[in-house]
Amino acid sequence: MDIFAKLGFRPIFWSDGHLIVLDQRKLPTEESYIRLETVEQAVMAISDLIVRGAPLIGITAAYALTLLPNISDNLAFENSCAMLKSTRPTAVNLSWAVDRMAAFYRQAVNRENLADDLLAEAVRIHQEDAESCRKIGDHGNQVISDPCRILTHCNAGALATGGIGTALGVIYTAFFSGRKIEAWVDETRPVLQGARLTAWELSRAKVPFKLITDNMAAELMSRKLIDLVIVGADRIAGNLDIANKIGTYGLAVLASYHDIPFYCAAPTSTFDTACPDGRSIPIEFRAEAEITAMFGKNIAPENCPVRNPAFDITPNELITGIITENGILKPGRQGLR
């Protein structure tokens, strides 16, 4: 399934020696692309959420390392790796992709063709993620009833990955295979990835959905209007605790109380066995203005104290299953130590 043909956009692509990315900050009102010509520009694109989603920022970082003017400058390459890895600490796909590119760089025998070979490795990372998304969709389709009303949080679709998405990939696969699907889309405060991005994607794919505020999920569950919850992940610990967009933990608690299956969908590049559990996962804190202002206007008193963690941790015992390209893991019974 070429989801990009159905949606009419590509979040990232390589063209004429440059990396082109869709500016996700401007969606849904404006669809514009930015050309990245340096590592520094790629760092800015990741930090400022021009590109976002754990798999996609890993892909972006891989391509970024091919933009160095002198690819044989070992020090510049290592410094670029460090700079990219520091941009967003929670999403492990970023460091995974950078480390893979660095290992390829250090082991390359043919230094004359290093630039082309390094680009080919970045393309492989991109293609492999697209294939992982396809397989995640296929495995996830097994847990989707017909009909099925699915709640999702943040954006884990084509805008966040190299393919059809993880959580949305499951929804797309089920929908295009003929199942009667309706999605509930959390707005996902404070940056509104659900309202701005997921709703935009689903409307383009013609998947039936309704947008809700983050605090409406409990009411819907109490009325038995949600059959299943499916989210993505930015890092999965060795014991299968997951870090995902803030608000995920609350949804897992609600789903558990209302006896609703709660699934996470993520590629194996999101797993971090170096983190034994969720408490070991670094949590990114973002700017206060994301909470105190919206669309350039203040919505809180001046100098209002703010706490703005971008992610929370959902313990494995609240997770029904983690859907990967290799199948579905059952947390609480299987770990990755």
Maximum alpha-carbon separation in the chain: 64
Q: Which residues pair with 314 in a beta bridge?
A: 242
Q: Which 3 state secondary structure label does DSSP give 35?
A: strand
Burial of residue 29 (number of CB atoms within 10 Å: 0-12, 13-18, 19+): exposed
Beta-carbon contacts of 281 under 8 Å, excluding residues fewer than 6 positions away, are 90, 235, 237, 241, 243, 272, 275, 311, 313
Buried b (16+ CB within 10 A) or exposed e, 292-316: beeeeeeeeeeeeeeebebbbbbbb
Complete edge-to-edge strand list for the sheet that includes strand 12-15: 12-15, 18-22, 33-36
DSSP 203-236: HHHT--EEEE-GGGHHHHHHTT--SEEEE--SEE
Given the structure tokens 């206007």, which residue do they identify?
Answer: 297
Backbone φ/ψ region at 298: left (φ over 0), alpha (ψ -120 to 50), beta: beta
Helix (H) or strand (E) holding 107: helix 92-107
> Catalytic annotation on 234?
yes
Tell me the one-letter amino acid at 58.
G
According to DSSP, residue 179 is labeled -
Q: Which of 234, 241, 272, 312 is catalytic?
A: 234
Instruction: Give DSSP secondary structure letters for 272-327.
Output: ETTS-SGGGS---B--THHHHEETTEE-S-TT-----BSEEEE-GGG-SEEEETTE
Alpha helices per DSSP H over 141-198? 167-176, 193
Q: Among all residues, which ones are annotated catalytic?
A: 234
